[in-house]
Structures are given as C-alpha cells and as structure tokens.
Chains A and B, each alone.
Chain A
C-alpha cells in the first residue's frame, strides 16, 4: 500500500476556521433500542475523516442522519458551518453529498444521464436537453477528480473503479465548484467492491479533493486503506464514540480494540465438555468441499454435532453468501455439501428433509411474514402437528406459540399480534424458536443472528445457540461479521476471504481481536468475491 502516498497537508492549517460540522449531541432510537448516541464530534475543512466501526456500531445510522434519511431523536443538536441544524437535514443546498456503498448508479444509461437527475431540478419539465452542454459539464465534473471518461459511455460498460469515480464525481458536482471549504462529502465504503490498484486510484482522488478544501468522511474498515487516506479517525462502537483523533496517533491494535472492545467473556461452555466439543462419532454431520481453484487445492471443512462454529469475514467475503449456498437457495458453484456423508442436492426442501435448517439475516425479506400473526409465523413449519381431527386447530397453534414465546421470553402482544409489531430482537427470537421447534433437524445455520438486535436479546440468543450445541448435541454454524458475537458463542471460527476459508481459529487463540485481525489483515484481497446472480445480499 505504499503506492498510496499521503498527499494531505497534515498540520498545515494555522488558524482553525468555523468547523464544517459539529455534532454536539446526536441520538437515534429505533423502537426501544438506542442505536446511536454521539457527542462532541467536530469536522473541519480540508481533512479526510475515516469513520470506522463494526457492524451495528451505528456508522450507517450516522451517515443516514447526515444525508437527511433519518431524523435523529428530538433533543439532538449540531451545527453545520456554524448554523444550528434543524433536523432532518435537507439534502438540497446543505452542502453535503453522499455516495452510497452501491453507488446508486443507473446501469443502462449514459454517464451524463446519471448526472441529469440532480441537474434536472433547475429546468422546467418541458425544456429540451442540450446534450452537448450536458456532456461538457459531466466532463468538467469528472476532471475535478482527474478522471477522463466519455460522458456518453453506458454505466454498464464501466469498470468497478470507473463506476466509483463516476459516483463520486456526481456527488462532487452536487457540491458545486466555487468554494469547497465548508462542503462535506461522505463516502460509504467506496472501495468495498474494488481491487487493490483501483482502491489506490479512488483514494488518491478522494485525498486530492479534500486537499482543495472540502471535508470528506470515508466509511471504511480496512486498516491499510484508512492509513492511506485519512487524516483523522472516528471510531464508533455500539452507537457511541469509542475513539477519535489524528490517525497517526493510534496503531492498528488500538484501532481494532476500539472497534471491537476487548476481552469479551466467553459463555460458560465449561460445565459440559470443557473447551473441546465431545469427540465426534463417525464423522462430521455437515461437510463442505470447495473445488480446486486458481488460488489453491480443493478445500474441505467438517462440522460436528455438539459444537458451535463461527464463519467470519468482512462484508462481501463469502460468509454472507455461504449459508444460502449450503441449503441450495443460491447457486452452489461447485461447492459440494454433504450431510451425514451423503451429498446434498436440490434446494431448501431437500435440505430440510436431511435435517439442515437456516435462519436468514434479512428477517423482513427472507425470514418472516411480517403481516402475519406471530402464531402463523411460528407454526408454518409444522402445521401437520397443529391439527385436531385433520383440521388446523387455532387453539393448538396458540398454545404452541405461547409456550415457545414464554420459553424464549419474547415480548409481544400475544399469538395473534402481527409480526411487524414486534421489535427486531423479538422477531429474531421467534425466527429462532421456530427453527429450533421444527424437529427433526441436525444442523442449524444462522446468518447474522444478532443483527439489529438489542443487547439483552443478543445475550439471550448467545446462550440459546451455545445451549443447542452443548446440551442438546446439535451442530450450530453461525455466519456473520459481528466478531464479538462470534467469539462469544463459537468453539472455533473459520475466517473467510474471497469465498474461501483462509484460517481457522480455535481454543485459547479464539478472541474477537484474533478474528478481526485475521479477517482484516488477510494480505491482498485481489480476486473479487464471487458475484453471483440471485445473491441473497445483492
């Protein structure tokens, strides 16, 4: 990463003018969960700020507040260029522009047409487009970033780096060109989909832009990239400011610790089997075999009854895709799945028959029927058992639902309450309770089980997952990028990179730090992760 020479002018600002943005005190609460509580953040012109934080640390929420998508809780205070902010921040004229992680470009039209939407507001609906002029403006805006592209080119024909630069160029144009000091550009993981060379190019453009006077926030959690582009770092953890200051003052270890907290206590695995799971009998209940690839040999990993295995990785590194591949809801692409030594083929129906069940991450889309009652969601997997005289019995359903919800301490308005009235954590409990109740099963795959879940529920889910493995002898595999959670529940953790397991962390080495370091320091991230259509996270 030495190619990313820092061009910024650290310490070259004698007098501090009015800060671009001051967040005196900003809170955001969803339902009963406070997801953000930030105080005393000041951003100044000409600097690049690296915004760091694990999943659920509140960085997306903060970005959404700054882009005017969320209105923070009442009582929140902040100043934009010295003027008190009235929430929610209005995008137009605020001098703030945001580049979304997915760039939000329209694929099948030209670069200029992607710029037109934001220019259009200045024209009447019926006026015609002067293409020559519009293209020239696009060219001009891109040249600010040192990019030369044909403005007529279709976005779909661009490389990932070019797309990133077009998206940034569009935001830059939105900010105007007259006086950059006071303008705020926010980039939400701009390099998430880029290879190394491209990362350098994009980050250099960002640095140059800041050097001309603007203030830039880059959401990122790759250490080398933060080092290469940020003057200052702001680290969030669990919605609060964990650390802030000039980037050079902190070493990698300090930053990782600030992001993930330290010394997370592991739950009391002890009573049953000690640190190691029971000696497996016969063979792994679930085995995954990846085909040989350019990167190396075929890889095989087995999962045993009685253990909790974590599968970790940065977003997009494959652990988000794998659970859906295993059950056959996404193309397996050569991945071979064996249950009890026999190859598993087909989709989720076959997976269920062989004792493999999945609790997906996206509860609203993949997990639950939100307009349905809690009862209807809970019993859907075992309606056959809810019958009296061959007909469904509402009473039997309600009884089963109530007793499961009591066992899982679900806070809800009764079995007939509609699912969407429950908080995220309680929805997740119902999803897990349903999966556990749909016997017979042997392997439970859970994807981001504690995402968007409050702290108490998070702890309860941890206990439940460990209990399933250690007391009931099930095999539990937890996929996610919440390293704290993974370190807490897992007996061992597999770290994925580019769709492959690259490291296994076991025993005493297992800690949140170790997972974080393993997933972040994984040298080059050159080959892009397999992008597949039907990607559940697309």
Chain B
C-alpha cells in the first residue's frame, strides 16, 4: 500500500512573518546593471562613433555646418512620421498608411493653396483634417470591424495614394505659396522651422509617453490587451485616439513635406514608408529596450541619417540608398528582437498549467 500520508496541514493559513524578500530576481548584480546601461546607450555610442569616423575620413565635407544642417533638415518629415507611427506601434498594431497619408495630405494642402488660393492656415487645416479622417477610418476598420491593422492599413494606404493621384491629376503640384516655403526653411540659427516642428513634436511625445496615463495605457494595451479590457480600461477609446492622433500627425508631416520641397508629388509616398519604420524599430534598441519610445526613435533617425549622409559623401550611387534603407529595417527589427532575448525574456515559456 503506497503512502497515503501526504501532508495535510498546509491549508491552514498562518499569519506568520513574511518570508525573506530574496529571489534570483533581486540579485541582478552590478554587472547585470552595467550590461543593461550599455544596451540602453549603445546606439547613442554607435552614433557618436560613426560621426567621428566620418569626420576623420571626410574632414572637409562631412563635419561642416552646411552638411550638418542639411543632414538635420533632410530628416524633418521622417521625424514627424516616425513619432506618429510609434503611437499605434505602442498598441501592438502596425499602421502602414503613414507615408501615403503624408503625401496625399501634402497634395491637399498644395491643391487648396495653388488651385483655390486659400489662406495658408486654411490649407494647413485641410491637410490635418484629411489625415485625421484617414486615421478615424483606419481605427474604424481595425477596432470596430476587427480587421488586422496590417491588412486594413495596407488597403487604406493604397486607396489614399490613389486619391492623391486624382487630386493632383497625376502631376506634381508646383508653385506652392513662396512665403510659406521660405518661412518653413528659415528658423533661428539657420535651423529650419520644419526641423523645429519635429523637435517640438518629439518633446510632446516624450512627455505623453513617459509622463501621462495615456502613454502608459498604450503600452499596457500593446502588451496585455485582454488584461486591460478586464481591468475596465477603455481600450477601444484609447485605440481610437491613437489611430486618430496618428492620422493627424501624418497630415502634419504632409504639410512639413510640402513646406520643405515646395511642391507636392503624388508618387513619393513609397519613399516615406521604409525610413520611418526602420527608425522606430531601431529606436526600440535604445533608451527603453524593447519599447517604442520617443528618445530612442530620435537617436535612431539621426544615426541612420549620418550613415546615409556619409555613404553619399563617398559618392555611392542610388542603389546603395535603397539597399541601405531595406537592410537597416531588417537589421533594426533583428536587433529589437535580439535585445529582448538578451534581457532573458522567455515569457512564452509559462507552462505551469496544472
């Protein structure tokens, strides 16, 4: 007869003293912390390194004021787009429509300005409203109908691009309000207003992500949507706001785009698809590992820009830029995955189901 005397006294709860607060998790150790710090600031270090490298290799062209201002202002649209798309990425969704919405909002702006001669403020308003509208439609498809964000926004991206062609009659809209264009280019210290808009947006997004409940809700929903729902958090409302705000900011990016290039071209949407995506994903390997965060995104944007600029100074031909953008996206996503593994996350392995 096997032993039937399994202890039976465990069910009686004791209000005994709490167990000592010690576990493997408490013993991260200083070495672990040093590794974590290196990870957080690794991308920043890399950016500094290649900056110095290019400055040494191309001392006459790379570290000049003109080149650096050009480098920064060339990223103004990408800054706005990358920050905007991080809203829905934090939710765990992927809104692909941003590049197309930006171009078409730019066309809306240009058409209102060039063909209808509306005041600039009204043109800006129209562009922003267009972006907002697309954002709300995306939200409706994803949240209310329940489509996958990837599929829904792949569709809306193409539709919006088509609308852009129609509005522009398949031509580049030129002769945009000169006053507006020169205002966008001319800011304090030679820094373009377009750049300042991006930086201001960065500050706002940083504040929203780090210091407001909304930013936290985005992450929590991204990581545990079902949990958020059961906790009574207004998940659908928050997701709607993220999509709508994203759309609005794509519209803003469109205005910045037209302001910097002084025309609206319906064919450039594709150019603004990869760089912002590569930047946000690469951004998750910096500052807050594994999370779409504002500061990491900024560091990633300028790191990628420095590399591109350096390559161009060496006289590389056009194909290199393509290969680089695509390669950067893949490397960025791989790094993002790797840094999560490295931090020991194997949360899929919870198999304690009695």
By a beta-carbon cutoff of 8 Å, the part of chain A in contact with chain B is 30-33, 35, 40, 55-58, 60-61, 64, 69-70, 237-238, 240-245, 258, 261-265, 267, 324, 327, 329, 347-349, 351-353, 357-358, 360, 364-372, 376, 380-381, 383-384, 387, 391-392, 409-414, 417-418, 420-424, 438, 451-452, 455-456, 458-460, 462-463, 466, 484-485, 488
A30-B25 in contact given A245-B1, A380-B220, A392-B212 (Cβ < 8 Å): no
Nearest to A236 among chain B residues (CB) is B6
- Choose among A371, A412, A424, A460 the residue that contacts B352 (Cβ–Cβ < 8 A): A424
* Number of chain B residues close to chain A: CB under 8 A: 54
Interface residues of B in 10-47 (CB under 8 A from A): 10-15, 18-19, 21-28
Residues of A within 8 A of B8 (CB): 261-264
A4–B262 Cα distance when bound, in Å, is 85
A376-B219 in contact given A364-B347, A411-B23, A421-B25 (Cβ < 8 Å): yes
A380-B231 in contact given A411-B21, A411-B22, A459-B13 (Cβ < 8 Å): yes
The answer to whether A452 touches B230, judged by C-beta atoms less than 8 angstroms apart, is no
The answer to whether A459 touches B12, judged by C-beta atoms less than 8 angstroms apart, is yes
B186 close to chain A: CB less than 8 A: no
The answer to whether A30 touches B345, judged by C-beta atoms less than 8 angstroms apart, is no
* A-contacting 9-mer, from B73-81, B173-181, B221-229, B293-301: B221-229
A352-B231 in contact given A35-B352, A261-B8 (Cβ < 8 Å): yes
A370-B231 in contact given A57-B354, A376-B219, A462-B13 (Cβ < 8 Å): no
Residues of B within 8 A of A392 (CB): 210-213, 216
A516–B15 Cα distance when bound, in Å, is 28
The answer to whether B216 touches A370, judged by C-beta atoms less than 8 angstroms apart, is no
Give the 8 A-B CB pairs with smallest separation, nearest first.
A352-B232, A409-B18, A413-B25, A56-B354, A369-B224, A383-B213, A459-B13, A369-B223
A347–B351 Cα distance when bound, in Å, is 30
Residues of A within 8 A of B351 (CB): 30, 64, 69-70
The answer to whether A372 touches B223, judged by C-beta atoms less than 8 angstroms apart, is yes
Residues of B within 8 A of A463 (CB): 13-15
In angstroms, how far is the closest chain B Cβ from the Cβ of A445?
Answer: 10
| Residue of A40, A58, A392 contacting most chain B CB atoms (<10 Å) | A392
Residues of B within 8 A of A364 (CB): 347, 350
Q: List 19 A-B contacts (CB under 8 A).
A: A31-B352, A64-B351, A241-B2, A347-B229, A366-B227, A367-B224, A369-B228, A370-B223, A371-B347, A380-B217, A384-B213, A391-B207, A391-B212, A409-B19, A411-B25, A413-B28, A417-B25, A466-B13, A488-B11
> Per-position contact with A for B186-221: 1 when CB-CB < 8 Å, else 0?
000000000000000000000100111100110110
Nearest to A261 among chain B residues (CB) is B8
By a beta-carbon cutoff of 8 Å, the part of chain B in contact with chain A is 1-4, 6-15, 18-19, 21-28, 207, 210-213, 216-217, 219-220, 223-224, 226-234, 290, 343-345, 347, 350-354
